[in-house]
Amino acid sequence: MFRQLLVKFMQEKAKLLKEKAEIPEEMYFSHKDEKAIMSWREEEARKIFQIIAKHIEEEVKHLGTLTCPFCIRYYCKSEGRLTCEVCEYGWHHKPCSEANSDYKLILKTLFIKEKSIKAEDYEEILKKTIYPPQLKIGDIVLIDLDKTLGLNLQEMEVLEIKLASPTALTCICQSLKDNSLWKVDFKSDQELEAWIPKLIDRLD
């Protein structure tokens, strides 16, 4: 689940770069990059995703190491540096520190076109990453129990769906972690084309 979330997060960033500065999506995130992330351990992916979510909650700006799964994975605390020589992203796009790397070319393009990724952009990217565009019984959804932009995500299966209004759903969901039942209200977000959780109550 979290490996797929990291892939979706990077894909949404790539789409935004294309929208803002006509940067080819493959230039930022390729199929080889996706394959690399999908080879990581799930628990490792979960920790990386939570770190990224925390940085976004702290209103990180710009395209950099704080929201890059590869940079977070290959940061060596003991040496206080990024171990780019073993990073798959560096193999695919050239090490980001090199002047002719895809990363440096992307930054140059953003600078020339006077574009940037802002804190609010990252929030929208994270929402698009977490929330499904459609909702149906049997779906596995990620519910942010603490409403902290992904810091306390829990997988839940949708058991019941009731239409509260044309733009609101009331659902009964069951946690895959402990089988607890939750009432989750979803509100339609036309801009994101997704059902966004608005209210979460545990059912005793």
Same domain for 13 and 72? yes
| pLDDT tens digits, one per residue of 151-195 | 778 899 999 999 888 888 999 999 999 999 999 999 888 777 888
| pLDDT tens digits, one per residue of 49-58 | 989 988 988 8
End-to-end Cα separation, the chain, in angstroms: 27
Q: Which domain holds residue 160?
A: 131-203
Residue 64's pLDDT band, with cuts at 50, 70 and 90, is confident
Same domain for 156 and 187? yes
Same domain for 13 and 38? yes
User: 3-state SS of the chain: helix, strand, coil percent to 5?
Assistant: 45, 25, 35
Which pTM was predicted? Answer: 0.82
Final residue of a domain: which of 84, 106, 127? 127
Per the structure, how many domains does the chain have? Answer: 2
Same domain for 114 and 137? no
37 has pLDDT over 90: yes
CB atoms within 10 A of CB 94: 17
